[in-house]
Chains A and B, each alone.
Chain A
Amino acid sequence: MLKRLLLALLIVWISAMPLRAVQPDEVLADPALEARARGLSVHFRCLVCQNQSIDDSDAPLARDLRLLIRERLTAGDSDNEVIDYLVSRYGEFVLLKPRFATHTLVLWLGPFVILLAGLAFVIRHRRRDRTAPNEQPLTGEEAQELERILKP
């Protein structure tokens, strides 16, 4: 149950945000196709902008890419075919979500490896703490005090 809940919340989190910069004349007549175009365009970088998706950007290039996506979709391409097409034209740099591949292993797995490493660190320390008795050695003064008390 919890797992499903988490998964559900996760999907809420990552569900694409609606389109922003699109101009009225770009919108496709078919709402289903338009929705797919919007879903795709948050995943592409506006190549001439500073860290904006083509969905956010008012730049002419972003508009061209938005129109290109719609053209391909109207021509009957699947989402993946559109992505492949754009990558072949503009390189992987155009993708805001890098592909999972050997050169992005660190990127995708890094955070989770760190989580596991942290967990291992904690478990190891617990073991060490448990085996090492939690006693602090007496300081000089305390030792003297003890001696004084113990003396008959």
Chain B
Amino acid sequence: MIIETGHFALLLALAVAAYQMVVPLYAATRGDERLMRVAASSAVMQFLLLCLSFAVLTWAYVTSDFSVLNVWANSHSAKPLVYKISGVWGNHEGSMLLWVLILALFSAAVAIFGTNLPPGLRARVLSVQGSISFAFLSFIVLVSNPFLRLDQVPAQGKGLNPILQDPALAIHPPLLYAGYVGLSVAFSFAIAALIEGRVDAAWARWVRPWTLAAWMFLTVGIAMGSWWAYYELGWGGWWFWDPVENASFMPWLIATALLHSAIVVEKRNALKVWTILLAILAFSLSLIGTFLVRSGVLTSVHAFAVDPERGVFILLILCLFIGGALALYAWRAPSLQAGGLFSPISREGALVVNNLLLTAAAAAVFIGTLYPLVLEAINGTKISVGPPYFNFTFGILVLPLLVLVPFGPMMSWKRADAWAATQRLWAAALIALAATLIPVIAQVRGPWLAPLGIGLGAWLIAGSLVELAGRIKLFQAPFTTSLARLKGLPGQAIGMTLAHLGVGVMVLGVVAVTAWREEIGVAMKPGDVTEIAGAKITFKGESPLTGPNYSATVGRFSVETGNRVVSELTSEKRIFLPSRQPTTEVGIHSFWTGDLYVAMGDEAPGGGRNVRAYFNPLVTLIWIGSVIMFIGGGISLMDRRYRIGAPKRAATAAVPAE
């Protein structure tokens, strides 16, 4: 009965979505303000219904109700509670339900917090949100229903893919989906603006916080996925250019571009046509990402769904929304009024360069991910596109962007003096030079170009700090004045500084681990000692272990530096019960200088155990950098201008677009 309640709530949500899609749009066209108000209430109602539906599915998982096909296929009664819960979205049907739940959450948030929006805009935005929701709810109800029952109730479930039974991966999908789906709001605002034929500073200021929130979730979601891959997959890599990683990275790149171009719309009323396009592209890439991962078109760990019926359905949704949005764009965008003029050397110009490079980088990822599929579909030629391609093309496009980042904030609007901006960065340049020299003087072995990479990271960090120092007049005014100015800085300014600084921190980590990683692979018997990066690793032996739903071999290692034991590491090889699938749990000890990473291999042919140990210098900075970017986004979101100072639109009616 409870299951049927959830199922019924899902169907009701579909009906509400249809209503939310049609009625507010009609009301907005007629200018009927009373009727427009149903948009907000239906968005909230839809959210509540989906909450109920999702809660019921979760309940089925927690109580291991194997009469539900989906629970039987993806759960197991011996699983720890946390993985029973995360199992809800660890499968195709459940994750799609989570997807629409988050979509409804964002719609409800627009309905509740968007009271300062003009009624017509709000109604249209919520109507577009309703149409997305309608499409995906239809998809769930017709071909991915999680509430289907089994006639014969099995005694035990088939279990969750063991690789997904991990704390980071339990919260990775909700974060990532919040990012993907959050971009739908920017998309809906863009469509609504195209329908209204009006884009102005107020529009940009409304769109930006939603994009920022989505971007923050994407940032931390991607970082968490990368962190998980690092410690779980057992070979110490942190980014593999896997199609599913790319699927989340493309919307991130475009969302980053959108965040920057929306500033230009807000401050200077320029780049409007371009910004609308980015808003459409960002969510389109989210949809494509969902399609790639959900349709099973790629064979990869994440692509659980193999049913072509679903793939075709999502492809249809994809074509409808992306095609429709781009057609509307082609029709309406030319009529949007051109904005303020600016010289190429200006803040606007810098942001255009940022946008071009980010978009081209996203294109490189896009082409690299989809080209093999397209080529195979056209003439059957099978090629692989792997890390060497992405590192080359993406690197070529992103390196100049990174070098230019500190210049952007130094430029003034409309017309800037490039030489003056450069002069203001002399301190940052000195710090970057010093950072370049550190590895050279310390005579660290490795690629001779690596020090330049370290210099680039330092340049980004110092560049953002110098900009902040300039704003608060550090060393130019008394310290108390600077402190007062710091407190008075708008959240957006501090947010930008932190976000750019986070990129620099991440670059340091990427360069260090790429250039100076050390590794060793040896067969070890208990008592054997091996050395890596100045640390002595002793293999103490291995023993069997039985977990709740797996059996494992646990290897114990002690780590010594300078004749002092600094850590006792355990590293496991696990075999999960229902599927006999092996996974690794690596042992990691973090020094200040980097991670010591020990993974158990197979049994060595001559007795003993193959052990792989790595020293990953500064690798943690990659994720610390992401967290700094996330915090920067959060502080920017707190900016009170978003809440109280939203500019009033000109009182006059919009000029018709035709």
Binding site for B on A (CB under 8 A): 2, 5-6, 8-15, 17-25, 27, 42-43, 45, 50-53, 56, 58, 91-98, 103-104, 106-108, 110-112, 114-115, 118-119, 122, 125-126, 128-130, 132, 134, 136-137, 139-142
Contact = CB atoms under 8 A, between A and B. Distances in A.
Interface in B236-295: 236-237, 240, 242-243, 273
B655 interface: yes
Contacts of A58: 601-602
B363 A110 contact: yes
Contacts of A25: 523, 604-605
Interface in B321-346: 337-341, 344
Interface in B510-566: 511, 514-515, 517-519, 521-523
B82 interface: no
Contact of A15 (B240, B341, B447, B523): B447
B453 interface: yes
A98 B384 contact: yes
B300 A12 contact: no
Contacts of B352: 122
B399 interface: yes
Given A10-B395, A56-B240, A126-B344, 5 more contacts: A15-B515, A24-B521, A24-B523, A92-B383, A134-B338
B395 A42 contact: no
A98 B383 contact: yes
A12 B521 contact: no
Given A9-B449, A118-B360, A134 B388 contact: no
Contacts of A45: 384, 386
> For A2, A9, A110, which residue has the most chain B Cβ atoms within 10 angstroms?
A9
Contacts of B379: 103
B602 to A, nearest CB: 7
A23 B375 CA distance: 35
Contacts of B368: 107
B148 interface: no
A58 B584 CA distance: 12
B375 A103 contact: yes
Given A10-B395, A115-B357, A98 B367 contact: no
A105 B387 CA distance: 18
B447 A9 contact: no
A24 B521 CA distance: 5
B381 interface: yes
B360 A111 contact: yes
Contact of A93 (B339, B382, B393): B382
Nearest to A52: B240
> For A93, A108, A111, which residue has the most chain B Cβ atoms within 10 angstroms?
A111
B384 A22 contact: no
Contacts of B624: none
> For B243, B299, B344, B360, which residue has the most chain A Cβ atoms within 10 angstroms?
B360
Nearest to A96: B386
A17 B237 contact: yes
A111 B338 CA distance: 27
B579 to A, nearest CB: 16
A52 B387 CA distance: 10
A107 B375 CA distance: 10
A10 B237 CA distance: 20
B655 A137 contact: yes
Contacts of A95: 383-384
B382 A91 contact: yes
B275 to A, nearest CB: 13
B655 A139 contact: yes
A143 to B, nearest CB: 11
B306 to A, nearest CB: 13
A94 B605 contact: no
B109 interface: no
A22 B610 CA distance: 10
A56 B610 CA distance: 15
B389 interface: yes
Contact of B237 (A9, A20, A94, A114): A20
Q: How large is the interface on B (under 10, 10 to 19, 20 to 34, 35 or more residues)?
A: 35 or more
A85 B240 CA distance: 26
Interface string B608-619: 001010000000
Given A6-B403, A115-B356, A14 B388 contact: yes
26 contacts: A5-B452, A8-B449, A13-B514, A14-B392, A18-B519, A20-B235, A23-B610, A24-B521, A56-B237, A56-B240, A91-B382, A92-B383, A93-B382, A94-B384, A97-B389, A98-B383, A103-B383, A106-B367, A106-B371, A107-B385, A114-B363, A118-B356, A125-B338, A129-B341, A134-B339, A140-B652
B349 to A, nearest CB: 9
A45 B384 CA distance: 8
B94 to A, nearest CB: 22
B383 A104 contact: yes
A93 B383 contact: yes
A53 B386 contact: yes
A142 B655 CA distance: 13
A22 B520 CA distance: 9
Given A9-B456, A107-B367, A110-B367, A141 B652 contact: yes
Given A20-B612, A98-B383, A129-B341, A51 B242 contact: yes
Contacts of A11: 447, 449
Contact of B338 (A92, A98, A132): A132
A11 B364 CA distance: 18
Contacts of A18: 517-519
B154 interface: no
A96 B387 contact: yes
B301 interface: yes
Nearest to B385: A98
B186 interface: no
B437 to A, nearest CB: 15
Contacts of A107: 367-368, 371, 385, 389
Sorted from nearest, which 7 A-B pairs have the closest CB atoms? A96-B386, A97-B388, A111-B364, A115-B360, A13-B395, A20-B235, A12-B449
A93 B382 CA distance: 6
A134 B604 contact: no
A23 B396 CA distance: 34
A51 B452 contact: no
Contacts of B601: 23, 58
A20 B513 CA distance: 14
Contacts of B392: 14, 97
A136 B602 CA distance: 73
B199 interface: no
A43 B388 contact: yes
A43 B301 CA distance: 21
A44 B241 CA distance: 15
Given A45-B386, A111-B364, A13 B652 contact: no
A61 B383 CA distance: 19
